[in-house]
């Protein structure tokens, strides 16, 4: 099973991706994880990445594409993969098509986790973390016990200002992938509102589970 997971920041892709990779026994291929691992191991690609990140620059598509192609060629991806964080643009999607064609492989599904922006704002801005235990609460959906409420903190990237910026980038750069994969008859829409179990059941239904 070769999958791509799309969706706006805060939609819950991480939670559902974990369920999918456990069910289908396929690796989650995250560009962020690969870049960090390459920098940590000081591989040739890692040194190139570091030259950009140290300078505060975006890693160019050509370098990201090479990284993804190398990762998809590893043994654990031979039975399938879940791509998370790639492609982010139509240009990257076209590059991925070329990679898979060269490998004699194809995508099975592109899952789009759909959640309205106003719901995402409520979800994200209401999150609070317990610095002592790491437990995450929500002021509306999962309120903390009264005796620990005072020590909870809001992450710096859980503000409406930061989320609005991330959503603008998503709608400008990543959302054009939706018609791209619709045209290829690969897009599968998943309603991302509801309990984790309800959302997982919708995704699994699409994937034949």
Residues 6+ away with beta carbon under 8 Å from 139: 126, 128
pLDDT computed for residue 209 by the predictor: 80
44-74 pLDDT, tens digit per residue, is 888 888 888 787 777 788 888 988 998 999 9
Residues 6+ away with beta carbon under 8 Å from 35: 46, 49, 53, 59, 67
**Residues 142-155: what's their mean pLDDT?**
92
Share of residues in the chain with pLDDT > 70 (%): 100
Q: How many helices (H) and strands (E) does the chain have?
A: 9, 7
Cis peptide before 87 (omega within 30 of 0): yes
Angstrom CA distances, 108 to 7, 26, 67, 188, stand at 17, 13, 21, 10
CATH number of 2-206: 3.40.50.300
1-29 pLDDT, tens digit per residue, is 999 999 998 888 888 999 999 999 999 99
Q: Where are the domains of the chain?
A: 2-206
Angstrom CA distances, 92 to 3, 37, 60, 89, 129, stand at 15, 21, 11, 5, 35
Q: Which residues carry out catalysis? A: 13, 88, 127, 155, 166
For residue 187, pLDDT over 90 is answered with yes
């Amino acid at each position: 099973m070769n999958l791509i997971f799309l969706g706006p920041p805060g939609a819950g892709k991480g939670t559902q991706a974990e369920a999918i990779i456990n069910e289908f026994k396929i690796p989650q291929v995250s560009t962020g994880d690969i870049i960090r691992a390459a920098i940590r191991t000081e591989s040739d690609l890692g040194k190139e990445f570091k030259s950009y990140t140290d300078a505060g620059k975006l890693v160019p598509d050509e370098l990201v594409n090479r990284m993804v192609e190398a990762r998809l060629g590893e043994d654990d991806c031979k039975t399938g993969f879940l791509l998370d964080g790639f492609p982010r643009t139509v240009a990257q999607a076209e590059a991925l098509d070329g990679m898979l064609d060269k490998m004699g492989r194809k995508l099975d599904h592109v899952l789009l986790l759909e959640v309205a922006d106003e719901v995402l704002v409520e979800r994200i801005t209401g999150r609070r973390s317990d610095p002592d235990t790491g437990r995450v609460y929500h002021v509306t959906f999962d309120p903390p016990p009264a005796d620990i409420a005072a020590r909870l903190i809001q992450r710096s990237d859980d503000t409406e200002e930061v989320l609005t910026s991330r959503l603008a980038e998503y709608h400008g750069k990543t959302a054009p992938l939706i018609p791209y994969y619709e045209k290829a008859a690969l897009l599968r829409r998943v309603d991302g509102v509801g309990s984790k179990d309800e959302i997982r059941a919708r995704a699994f239904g699409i994937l034949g589970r």
